[in-house]
A and B are shown apart, each in its own frame.
Chain A
Amino acid sequence: MTERKTRAGSQAVFHEKRTYRRRRVMDAARLAPVLALILWSVPLIWPQSGDGTVSSATALIYIFAVWAGIIVLTWGLSQVLSDRAQRHTGSETGTDT
């Protein structure tokens, strides 16, 4: 399909707007775990002792808030990348930008 052609033959530089959007959503889906990892790594820089230590309740709320956020984000992305989107792109591999 279009993707396959793009890969095999001449590289199309510009895509129509919908295709472009869809690719950015795919990019977002790829980046989501990185975001989650960064947010969950934040506790690593929290001070362990002395002033400015984070209370356990706050820590707990932070981690679970990130968790909830990432679940909602993944849910949203998975909805956009639904059957419809997959049908249009065929088998997605898109290494292009």
Chain B
Amino acid sequence: MSTLNILIAVCAAYVCFLFLVAFVADRLALQGKKAWLRSPLIYTLSLSIYCTAWTFYGAVGSAARNGFEYLTIYLGPTLVMVSWWWLLRKLIRIGRTQKITSIADLISSRYGKSSLLAAGVTILAVIGTTPYIALQLQSVTLSFSVFAAQENGAMPRSQADLALWLSLGLALFTVLFGTRNLDAKERHDGVVMAIAVEAVVKLVALLSVGIFVVWGVSGGIGNALSEIDASDFGHWHADRSRWAGLIFLSAAAFLCLPRTFQVLVVENDDENHLRTASWAFPLYLCLISLFVVPIAVVGMNVMPDGSNPDLYVLTVPLALGENGLAMLSFLGGFSSATSMVIVAAIALSTMVSNHIVMPIWLRLRPSGASVSGDVRAAVLMARRISIVGVVMLGYLYFRLSSGGEALASIGLVAFCGLAQVLPAMLGGMFWRGATRLGAFAGLTIGFVTWLYTLYLPSFGVGTILPASVIETGLFGLTWLRPDALFGITGMDQLMHALLWSMLFNTSAFLFVSLVTFPSPLERLQAAQFVNIFDHSASARSWSGGGAQAEDLMVMAQRILGAREAQALFASHARKQGVGGDLPDPTPNFLEVLERELGSSVGAATAHAMVGQITGGMAVSVEDLMAVADETAQMLEYSARLKEQSEELSRTALELRNANQKLTRLSIQKDAFLSQISHELRTPMTSIRAFSEILRDTDEMEPKDQSRYASIIHDEAQRLTRLLDDLLDLSVVENGQVNLNLRDGTLRDALDRAVASAGIGEDGTKFEISRDLEKENIVLHTDLDRLSQVFINLIANARKYCDAKAPRLAIRVMQEADRVVIDFQDNGTGIAPEAVDMIFEKFARVSDQKAGGAGLGLAICRQVMTRLGGSVDYVPALRGANFRVVLPYRTALAAQ
């Protein structure tokens, strides 16, 4: 079997092995055996996603070409990892508590959930990552071609076919394991495990080649070192600006690359893993770069001139006849390429689907996101399509660039592009004053500068940017030349682009942030991000599933009721096949529970409650706003209910009062009827009796006759008066009364009333006090009717005042628009329960005191209403107090 066929077989076997690893890891994760899957070691190894095929092959090539510069690519990330305590810990805490799914999500979330910003970062990431994916495809096809060249000088299939099949395979793998579930935390156990395995393969391969080169070829460390000194490396020489600039660039890229962000923040399961990774990942990087120089030196010595130094890792063992080692080395490169493509595709697809496809899809759909299951399926589909799209975009780029040399330098170009996110990211994490507009301005300017000074020129002169622009600048302005902005020439193109883009980016970000004002949501998020350690609970507050399930149970009981909650938990425990009544808090169960709770307390509240117990995650501002919204709705509803019930009870009270009044009235009516019939019968009886005597007695003394006749007359008069009263009332009530309006003073009216009612028939002494001066008010009204009211009030006072020395005070007060006349006696007054009855017809305060027919006050009120005023009973400190009010238009001051 030829080497190439073995290679293909090994490759296929390796891919199958990766599928198996990912599959098993996913299964284990589903069964909840995450402890081993999510160890600090796995986390550290998964970070090696930073080291792509560009690293694996390119580092040696870079060392052979540029000396020590390759080291900077690893020193930057090492510095970042060493900064774990103040930088990464915060980043990861933010990622966990805010449920960050990608770097675009981080930026958008920090700046008030700006979808525009998210889309911008996503586009930047796609533009920056696509060439990178192409680079991986190129490295794999290149390494294949090395074996093919050794075999018979020709590829069995064209490079493009190989790249196509490779991309399809990678897309399949990513779709299979990257979109299994739509976990809110976006963790992919299978993928992470496969990447960790690939990390080991990479390291072992490179170390093996290195050890072989140092001990097998050079013959020990000392010899290797002297060989280095003797080689082209000679003495230390490095472009100083590139040394510093590349350290910065690689550090920035390590934080901002979508794939590293994915494993560093999104896939992180436990903050404590960072503690191990802080030293273990630098160690990994150190080991990866340890043998790069020796391999390069040996390569330069062993390989013929003109051979590609990028492939020394592969060609050196092959040239020295170590086919097995070459195979291992090939697998290392293959691993680097595949893992990069897989994670980049996952990270990018998350961004593309969340921030570009879904918003558009939701907007295009007429009904919006009403059915949750529907959206879920759509998100998964969008993600799958995005994965295939991203990988195919990389393939397309590879085809279009035809695998040229330009691709080799694209790694740093991409780094520089993605580093544009850094100011907005760090500013958002450490500075509360950073605003959305600032971030947007910085990103835009940085992106445009990068595009103009580095990305577009990287395609070569005349491809996208015309040669004239390169030579004489944009619009013929020489200070706008893409490789010499402001006429500063002589700088390395990458450093030139990095310097200006970061300078413009940061300045714009800072300046616009300083002069703009953030929205409330932004300010809340800013506080959340910057003071993350104040806001978020310690990530590990719950240990073991038992405690969680119990807490969920307690909460569910409180909300759903004990029996319902127990039934729900027990049925799920049975379904899961778990002993006891407490099911494991699997995503499925949590979903059901959340829905159940949601029907009682609202979806957002339920989500927050469950999240608090299971994830230990802080509630995001959006959650809080949703909760507040729900609560407000409930409050409003309950307030409305309360209002309605209050109104009902008010109505009921009124009805009850009315009923009581009616009952009392009915009783009094009965009493009045019996009274009036008595009143009518008594004079009738005497009239009949005396008229019978007059009729039947023939001889009668004229004196007796006249006495009897006068009795009959008196009684008839009494009857007439009674009937007059009744008639009077009905007339006044029906509004048929004719008012005899004329001018006169109040004093006259009162005088007349006091004269006719002030002295009792029995001559009881009744003292009336008046202020004659004040009574001097000219009225234009029906004075007779007014006197009638006064007479009634005075007569009432005389009749009912129970004081030993009855006294009545008549006080007149002239106010702005009315005249008030108070009649206050010194008796005990009217009982409160009788107050609302006294103005009713037939109402009498007591049955004992046989008074009139109980019509007097009713008539008074009717008369006063006719006159445009009122008469009321005013509760006084002592005694009864009636108040007559006359409107001013009928009262004109005499003065």
Residues of chain A at the chain B interface (Cβ within 8 Å): 4, 7, 26, 29-30, 32-33, 36-37, 40-41, 43-44, 46, 48-49, 53-61, 63-64, 67-68, 70-72, 74-75, 77-78, 81-83, 86, 90-93
Contact = CB atoms under 8 A, between A and B. Distances in A.
Interface stretch (B143-151, B279-287, B315-323, B731-739): B279-287
A90 B78 CA distance: 27
Given A37-B79, A67-B78, A92-B533, A56 B233 contact: yes
Contacts of A7: 534
Give the size category of B's interface with A.
35 or more
Contacts of A57: 225-226, 228-229
Contacts of A78: 84, 275-276, 278-279
A56 B234 contact: yes
B475 interface: no
B397 to A, nearest CB: 34
Contacts of A91: 533-534, 536, 538
A71 B276 contact: no
A56 B228 contact: yes
A4 B78 contact: no
Given A37-B79, A78-B279, 6 more contacts: A7-B534, A29-B86, A32-B83, A56-B231, A57-B229, A64-B290
Interface stretch (B198-206, B240-248, B477-485): B240-248
Contact of B83 (A33, A48, A75): A33
17 contacts: A7-B534, A33-B82, A33-B83, A37-B79, A37-B247, A49-B235, A53-B235, A56-B68, A56-B236, A57-B226, A60-B225, A67-B282, A71-B279, A72-B279, A77-B85, A83-B272, A93-B531
A44 B240 contact: yes
Nearest to B540: A83
Interface of B: 67-68, 71, 75, 78-86, 225-226, 228-229, 231, 233-238, 240, 243-244, 247, 272, 275-276, 278-279, 282-283, 286, 290, 293, 531, 533-534, 536, 538
A88 to B, nearest CB: 12
A4 B534 contact: yes
Contact of A70 (B82, B233, B272, B276): B82
Task: Tell which of A41, A75, A78, A81 has the most Cβ of chain B within 10 Å.
Answer: A78
A54 B275 contact: no
A40 B226 contact: no
Nearest to A37: B79
The 9 closest A-B pairs by CB, nearest first: A29-B85, A53-B235, A57-B225, A56-B233, A75-B279, A74-B279, A91-B533, A54-B236, A33-B83
B462 to A, nearest CB: 35
A36 B233 CA distance: 24
Contacts of A46: 236
Contacts of A64: 286, 290
Contacts of B538: 86, 90-91
Contacts of B238: 43, 48
A46 B235 CA distance: 10
A49 B75 contact: no
Contacts of A86: 538
B234 A30 contact: no
A28 to B, nearest CB: 9
Given A71-B282, A91-B538, A56 B82 contact: no
B82 A74 contact: yes
A56 B234 CA distance: 6
A56 B235 contact: yes
Given A36-B78, A40-B75, A93-B533, A71 B283 contact: yes
Contact of A54 (B86, B225, B235, B279): B235
Contacts of A44: 240, 243-244
A7 B534 CA distance: 10
Contacts of B81: 74
Contacts of A93: 531, 533-534
Contacts of A40: 75, 79, 247
A24 B405 CA distance: 50
A37 B618 CA distance: 35
